[in-house]
Amino acid sequence: MAVQAERRPLGDSAKAWALNAPAMIVIALLVAYPIAYSFWVSLQRDNLKRPRAKQFIGFDNYQALLSDQAFLSALKVSALFVLVVLGLTVVLALILALVLNERFRGRGLLLSLALLPWAMPGVVNGLMWRTIFDAKTGALNGLLTQLGLIAEYQAWLTSGTGAFLFTALAQVWNTLPFSVIILLAGLSTIPSELYDAATVDRAGAVQRFVQVTLPWLLHPLLIVLILETMNAFRAFDTIYVLTGGGPGDATTTIALLDVQTVLTFTDVGLGSAYAWVITAITLLISVGYIGLLYRKGNFEV
């Protein structure tokens, strides 16, 4: 008892540090260190095929990107891909969330089915859509032929535009459920009294949506926009399996180019610079979203 009495109890702050220290060490080792190291690598000329040529070159890798045609083309494709995927995702997710927010028979089943694509890994998603879009035995060709909409089987992924749009569609299918969940959670917090009051004020369905639903959904929409922009910008596996980036450069996004640069060309220096550019761009877009939307939402979700 005497020994215990001599011990000074730890302060709250020290206890908090002590309790969080293991997790912080793990995070520092597994997250912070690799991120910092990748930035360090991006400042080097470092191709694993030529270890003797490795040298510190400062920001030369970043500077070279300004005249790197492959990078500029991939950036353009990525930007377009983000626009198409994000546009489709937000519109479809909003519609689905509004439908699933209603009470009807079979809602639970529909909700479960709607979530299914989210559980599917990107590679499996890509393989599934490759089978569907197959030029010889694809389900899409079979369906459209049976409906009489096309006379013969088509090779959907052989034109640049076709490959781009079908790849975007496959990406949307994979990531849509997550957006639906976020928006559904937002919808469930809107007090029903607000709709009742709007109805008493003779507001129509469109007015109720614009005046009540949308303002309450601004914060969930913000989350959807940020996360789906990141997802679309980093999209790799589905595109890789479906088209490999082709035809030509039609579906070579910046993430695909990055993986190719690091793993196929083993140019880890330039590849790390690509990765940091992707990070910087998504960060800028996210800050832009927050600036535009955060202050407009009046309610916590």
We find the least distance from the C-beta atom of residue 252 to other proteins, in angstroms, to be 8
We find the least distance from the C-beta atom of residue 163 to other proteins, in angstroms, to be 8
CA 101 to centroid of chain Cα atoms: 24
We find the least distance from the C-beta atom of residue 77 to other proteins, in angstroms, to be 13
We find the least distance from the C-beta atom of residue 157 to other proteins, in angstroms, to be 4
By C-beta, is 53 or 109 nearer to other proteins? 53
* Listed residue (101, 93, 66) closest to 212, CA to CA: 101
Q: What's the sign of the alpha-carbon dihedral 17, 20, 26, 32? A: negative
Q: Are 179 and 86 in contact, with CB atoms under 8 Å apart? A: no
Q: Are 237 and 124 in contact, with CB atoms under 8 Å apart? A: no
By C-beta, is 260 or 282 nearer to other proteins? 260
By C-beta, is 162 or 215 nearer to other proteins? 162
We find the least distance from the C-beta atom of residue 230 to other proteins, in angstroms, to be 25
By C-beta, is 229 or 251 nearer to other proteins? 251
We find the least distance from the C-beta atom of residue 12 to other proteins, in angstroms, to be 23
Q: Are 267 and 258 in contact, with CB atoms under 8 Å apart? A: no
CA 77 to centroid of chain Cα atoms: 15
By C-beta, is 117 or 247 nearer to other proteins? 247
We find the least distance from the C-beta atom of residue 244 to other proteins, in angstroms, to be 3
C-alpha 96/C-alpha 279 separation (Å) is 30
Q: What's the sign of the alpha-carbon dihedral 42, 47, 48, 52? A: negative
Please tell me the number of Cα atoms within 13 Å of 194 on its side-chain side.
Answer: 17
Per-residue b or e along 232-252, where b marks 16 or more CB atoms closer than 10 Å to that residue's CB: bbbbbbbbbbbbebeeebbbb
By C-beta, is 160 or 215 nearer to other proteins? 160
We find the least distance from the C-beta atom of residue 23 to other proteins, in angstroms, to be 17
Q: What's the sign of the alpha-carbon dihedral 138, 140, 145, 146? A: positive
By C-beta, is 135 or 280 nearer to other proteins? 135
C-alpha 214/C-alpha 22 separation (Å) is 42
By C-beta, is 135 or 150 nearer to other proteins? 135
∠ CA 178-183-189, nearest 5°, is 135
Element (H, E) at 55: strand 55-56
Q: Which spans of this chain sit near other proteins (rule: CB under 8 A)?
A: 47-52, 133-136, 155-160, 163, 243-249, 260, 263-266
